[in-house]
């Protein structure tokens, strides 16, 4: 019976040829034209493909877009735009996928940081590479115009590096077939050297509803031709039977192996708005080469330097040029040919984690822009050498001014410390609340707060930073950070929150108040840990007099210092839910600055930007309309009331 079935299939294959799946149909030239009929006609090919047509915008009924253009999403101005075209193979059968199309759109939108309305599942059917898998074609549609080069490249990288987390329990593992968009690099070759059915241009893809099939010419066959065909079919049937048997045996073995591998696969589970994330597998060498060869797709503001340029600027990375060293690299002082001074960070780690951190740092820094963040100027990739080039912030760091070599240059007075506290808080508030997606620094500390000559702070070193979605909680099996600054819940459980950064900020704030290191083994027993020692002293007048940095010599307004101390006390609270958000800290510190006299106010705020939203918030706070109870304080001789 199996031989008979194979024989019949082979006869159908030879006698009734059809156009190859990988050959794209031809399309008319790109144009926007009035619409006179439905965009797609329903045909018998619906039995082969499932199609989720993009919703029509009510005001856009008068236009239609020629392939590969498509209409903008709902809520955007009517226009025909280029979508990013993606094809993936999912580890589920097509009939299982059809009921889960909306869930797949949600997964793709979350993984690419786009709106769900920008994700369109254009077609789904049996994969030409494995008929037991579903091949899905997806359009990622810009809201207007086109995707900028960086966004398109990030989408490209996220798909090829499998950073788009798709629920394995629903859709199985996925393989990327192609990602197409003008300006993107060619898709890496698929395993086995086959490129699959990858369209050669942005507009050459298979229509999910119908295809133009050229008519076959009628012709007659003589007896000799029929005999040859029958003999060939019989021979081929025997070969097919043998191959089918071998494949069946191999498939039974492969299923058991895939079941074992599935337990180690990258997964994303969504429960009550909390996402648990595991690091993706290491990027393959071919994709690393693809990344290195396409640095030109980064924003124009990010320059590309040659290794020889950086070696010349740093005297071949001389030890005399070293400015500092972190967990992922050493920083050198460099002087470029145009006499401009830069800081060159040379990655020293050679493992896969170091490589992933480098890619993550470039992606992150290229889209983060704030006056209190260190600016990325350029990059260098040559062989195994990877460098980041930053603006030089030449006045040391908070750590060096409080505890190190810059301590003897001059005292950090109270006005400078308050200015540093406000600027650093603004930087973290930007990362947590204004960047998309949210960014958790993970290694905020005094040595990562660099200072300009006027003591404007610049937060640096995003080598450990992590992307996060709003309200999300991350679980890490490897706690990263610096001892003395790491939040207790992160150190004990691996749970990483934006409030973990708030704790680290609170430690730096206590350093500014006390002039002490976060961990100082020269202190008396029981007082080595700064937070443990300072926490009970922060909320009483007598405690503050004992705690305040003696090098300030009393040159500060005690009311303002007390308010800053209460903010620090809340930031280092042992319970994350009791810590304020960084936006609240910024507003509270600005109220303190506004309460100072005119000269101090200029010192504290003059270099900072002002906004109508802040003035409105400050007015509300002064009238008690917002719940920042830690801003207004009354205190007696013993304790503060928060």
Q: Which residues contact 19 (CB under 8 A, 6 or more apart)?
A: 211, 213, 214
Residues tagged active-site: 443
Q: Is the pLDDT of residue 228 over 50?
A: yes
Average pLDDT, stretch 215-227? 59
145-to-13, 65, 73, 258, 366 alpha-carbon distances in Å: 45, 14, 12, 42, 21
Average pLDDT, stretch 400-426? 90
- 161-219: pLDDT as tens digits: 999 999 888 899 999 999 999 988 887 766 554 444 555 444 444 443 333 334 444 44
Here the tokens at position 527 are 């007082």
- Cis peptide upstream of residue 437 (ω within 30 degrees of 0): yes
- 206-215: pLDDT as tens digits: 443 333 334 4
Average pLDDT, stretch 4-12? 49
pLDDT (0 to 100) of residue 177 = 93
pLDDT (0 to 100) of residue 203 = 41
Return the minimum-mean-pLDDT range out of 239-243, 273-277, 359-363. Answer: 273-277
CA-based nearest residue to 314, from 343, 334, 329: 334
CATH number, domain 398-641: 1.10.510.10
554-to-507, 548, 598 alpha-carbon distances in Å: 22, 9, 20
pLDDT band at 224 (very low <50, low <70, confident <90, very high): confident
CATH number, domain 298-391: 3.30.200.20
**CB-based contact 77:144 (threshold 8 Å):** yes
Percent of the chain residues topping a pLDDT of 90 = 32
Q: What is the overall mean pLDDT for the chain?
A: 74
Please give the Cα distance from 610 to 615 (Å, whole number).
8
Angle of the 149-160 helix axis to the 352-365 helix axis, nearest 10? 150
Q: Is the pLDDT of residue 327 over 70?
A: no
Please give the Cα distance from 594 to 634 (Å, whole number).
18
CATH number, domain 59-204: 3.30.70
Please give the Cα distance from 523 to 49 (Å, whole number).
73
Please give the Cα distance from 614 to 433 (Å, whole number).
15
pLDDT (0 to 100) of residue 536 = 93
Q: Is the pLDDT of residue 32 over 80?
A: no
For residue 178, list its beta bridge partners.
87
Average pLDDT, stretch 111-118? 89
- Cis peptide upstream of residue 68 (ω within 30 degrees of 0): yes
Identical fold, 59-204 and 298-391 = no
For residue 495, list its beta bridge partners.
475
Question: Which positions make up the binding site for ATP?
Answer: 345
DSSP string, 188-207: PPPGGG---S--SSTT----
pLDDT band at 484 (very low <50, low <70, confident <90, very high): confident
pLDDT band at 135 (very low <50, low <70, confident <90, very high): very high
**Residue predicted with more confidence, 249 or 4:** 249
458-to-189, 353, 398, 449 alpha-carbon distances in Å: 43, 26, 10, 6
User: Is the pTM of the predicted complex or chain greater than 0.85?
Assistant: no
pLDDT (0 to 100) of residue 277 = 32
Average pLDDT, stretch 452-474? 70
- 38-81: pLDDT as tens digits: 333 333 333 334 444 444 444 577 778 888 888 888 888 888 99
Residue ranges of the domains in the chain?
59-204, 298-391, 398-641
**CB-based contact 203:26 (threshold 8 Å):** no
């Amino acid at each position: 019976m199996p031989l008979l079935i194979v024989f019949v299939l082979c006869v159908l294959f030879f006698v009734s040829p059809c156009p190859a799946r990988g050959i794209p149909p031809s399309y008319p030239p790109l144009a926007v034209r009035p619409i006179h009929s439905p965009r797609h006609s329903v045909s018998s090919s619906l039995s082969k493909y499932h199609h989720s047509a993009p919703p029509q915008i009510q005001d856009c009924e008068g236009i239609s877009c020629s392939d590969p253009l498509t209409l903008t999403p709902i809520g955007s101005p009517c226009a025909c735009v280029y979508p990013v075209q993606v094809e993936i193979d999912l580890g589920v059968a097509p009939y299982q996928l059809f009921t889960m199309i909306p869930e797949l759109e949600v997964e793709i939108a979350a993984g690419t940081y786009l709106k769900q309305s920008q994700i369109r599942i254009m077609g789904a059917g049996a994969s030409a590479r494995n008929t037991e898998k579903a091949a899905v074609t997806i359009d990622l549609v810009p809201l207007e115009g086109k995707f900028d080069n960086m966004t398109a490249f990030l989408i490209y990288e996220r798909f090829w590096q499998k950073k788009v987390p798709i629920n394995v329990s629903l859709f199985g593992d996925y393989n990327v077939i192609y990602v197409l968009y003008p300006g993107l690099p060619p898709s890496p070759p698929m395993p086995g050297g086959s490129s699959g059915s990858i369209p050669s241009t942005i507009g050459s893809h298979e229509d999910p509803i119908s295809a133009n099939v050229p008519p076959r010419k009628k012709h007659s066959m003589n007896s000799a031709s029929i005999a040859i065909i029958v003999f060939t079919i019989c021979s081929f049937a025997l070969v097919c039977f043998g191959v089918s048997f071998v494949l069946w045996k191999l498939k039974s073995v492969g299923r058991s192996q895939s079941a074992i591998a599935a337990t180690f696969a990258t997964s994303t589970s969504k429960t009550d708005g909390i996402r648990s994330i595991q690091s993706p597998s290491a990027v393959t060498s071919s994709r690393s080469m693809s990344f290195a060869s396409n640095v030109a797709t980064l924003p124009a503001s990010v320059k590309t330097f040659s290794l020889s340029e950086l070696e010349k600027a740093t005297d071949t990375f001389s030890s005399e040029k070293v400015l500092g060293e972190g967990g992922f690299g050493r920083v050198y002082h460099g002087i470029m040919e145009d006499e401009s001074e830069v800081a060159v960070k040379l990655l020293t780690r050679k493992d896969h984690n170091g490589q992933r951190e480098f890619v993550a740092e470039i992606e992150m820094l290229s889209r983060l822009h704030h006056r209190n963040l260190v600016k990325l100027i350029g990059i260098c990739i040559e062989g195994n050498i990877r460098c980041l080039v930053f603006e030089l912030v030449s006045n040391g760091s908070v750590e060096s001014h409080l505890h190190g070599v810059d301590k003897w240059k001059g005292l950090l007075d109270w006005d400078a410390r308050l200015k540093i506290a406000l600027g650093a808080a603004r930087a973290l508030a930007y990362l947590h609340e204004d960047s998309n997606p949210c960014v958790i620094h993970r290694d905020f500390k005094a040595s990562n707060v660099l200072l300009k000559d006027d003591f404007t702070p610049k937060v640096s070193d995003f080598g450990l930073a992590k992307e996060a979605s709003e309200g999300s909680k991350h679980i890490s099996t490897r706690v990263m950070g610096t001892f003395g600054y790491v939040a207790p819940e992160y150190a004990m459980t691996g749970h990483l929150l934006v409030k973990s950064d708030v704790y680290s900020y609170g430690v730096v704030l206590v350093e500014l108040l006390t002039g002490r290191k976060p961990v100082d083994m020269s202190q008396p027993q029981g007082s080595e840990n700064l937070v443990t020692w300072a926490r009970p002293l922060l909320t009483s007048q007598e405690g503050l007099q004992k705690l305040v940095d003696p090098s300030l010599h009393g040159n500060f307004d005690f009311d303002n210092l007390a308010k800053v101390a209460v903010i620090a006390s809340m930031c280092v609270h042992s319970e994350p839910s009791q810590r304020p958000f960084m936006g609240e800290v910024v507003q509270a510190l600005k109220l303190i600055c506004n309460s100072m006299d005119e000269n101090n106010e200029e010192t504290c705020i003059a270099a900072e930007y002002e906004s109508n939203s802040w003035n409105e918030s400050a007015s509300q706070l002064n009238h008690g309309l917002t719940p920042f109870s830690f801003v207004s304080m009354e205190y007696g001789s013993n304790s503060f009331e928060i």
